Chains A and B, each alone.
Chain A
Amino acid sequence: MTDDTHAPVPYRTFILIWLALLILTAITVAVSRVDLGALNVWVALGVASIKSSLVIFFFMHLRQESRLFKLGLLVMLMILAVFIGMTFLDVLYRGAM
């Protein structure tokens, strides 16, 4: 029974994470107004990934879950990487024909 439920996360932790998410959103908007060329999209994706990890590990309690849950996330991300990688292997080399 004790293994089945988590200890409650204090309100303070969640509020701090929320503040961090707001700051990161402000950073995304600020950086998007500066012309970095193709780098813009990578910065946007990088900040979005940091925000996602905060949501996943804290708000979604992944930090408190067992290794199985974390492994599941990793497997899903790997499937996603293959999905994206294979698509671009096709799309990027179509012009070479």
Chain B
Amino acid sequence: MSIEHRDDTGARFGMWLFLYTEVILFSGLFILYAVALSKFPQDYAVASHKLNVWFGGANTLVLLTSSLTIALAVSAIQMGRKKQCLTLCWVTIGLAIVFLINKFFEWSAEISHGIYPGSEQLAAMGPGVTSFFNLYYFTAGLHGLHVLIGASLIAVVAVMTAQDKVTPERYTLLENSALYWHLFDLVWIFLFPLYYLIL
């Protein structure tokens, strides 16, 4: 008999601490946004109108729903419903893929209009619009990268759940992956109105 050291609360708290560092990382970008917005309010409104609210809105719905499905997945494993938990994990990953496909079409359309960092057409629109799109590509890009990481993490945990390495008695790994996933839903909750919805 080996004595196993195990501290689920500690593992969750560690995850929360890590998430705080992620918030600080993204807050740097949001502060840059706030400073530039106060400097170029008109340009930011003009630039925001060039973004497609439908793409942004659709992705908001996709992310909110994926947050629901992963939260339900945690409840499912707690109640011992392994099959439901797995289905909910795969739905979450499916929604993440929908999000990224949406992003691909959105960015393709913008890039084809000459709107991308370093573009001469963008530079001709002035420093305000340029700073808006540079920040937009950087923040949304970093967010998209995190969505990709989060979905991969959930895929690994789903496989472990199928192999009974994540069980109703021991599901911290799933819960921490869910926490990570929710954080990027949170980042998008701020990103969407600030970039897509300026009047």
Give residues in A with beta carbon < 8 Å to B.
Answer: 3-11, 14-15, 17-18, 21-22, 25, 28-29, 32-35, 40-41, 44-45, 47-48, 51-52, 55-56, 58-61, 65-66, 68-69, 72-73, 76, 79-80, 83-84, 87-88, 91-92
Contact = CB atoms under 8 A, between A and B. Distances in A.
Contacts of B68: 14-15, 17-18, 59
Given A5-B78, A9-B71, A40-B199, A83 B31 contact: yes
A87 to B, nearest CB: 5
B29 interface: no
Contacts of A40: 198-199
Contacts of B171: 5
B197 interface: yes
A45 B178 CA distance: 24
Given A25-B60, A80-B23, A91-B35, A72 B78 contact: no
B53 A44 contact: no
Given A29-B197, A61-B175, 5 more contacts: A25-B60, A25-B64, A83-B31, A87-B34, A88-B34
A52 B3 CA distance: 40
A28 B23 contact: no
Given A18-B64, A44-B197, A51 B189 contact: yes
16 contacts: A5-B78, A6-B78, A8-B74, A11-B75, A14-B75, A18-B67, A21-B64, A21-B67, A44-B193, A51-B189, A55-B67, A55-B185, A61-B175, A66-B9, A84-B31, A92-B38
B72 interface: yes
B79 interface: yes
A2 B46 CA distance: 55
Which 10 pairs show the lowest CB-CB distances between chains A and B?
A8-B78, A32-B197, A44-B193, A18-B68, A4-B8, A76-B20, A59-B71, A8-B75, A51-B189, A14-B71
Interface of B: 7-9, 12-13, 16-17, 20, 23-24, 27, 31, 34-35, 37-38, 53, 57, 60-61, 64-65, 67-68, 71-72, 74-75, 78-79, 171, 175, 178-179, 182, 185-186, 189-190, 192-194, 197-199
B75 A65 contact: no
B189 A55 contact: yes
A7 to B, nearest CB: 8
B160 to A, nearest CB: 17
Contacts of B79: 8
Contact of A22 (B8, B64, B182, B194): B64
A86 to B, nearest CB: 10
Contacts of B20: 72-73, 76
Nearest to B23: A76
A56 B71 contact: no
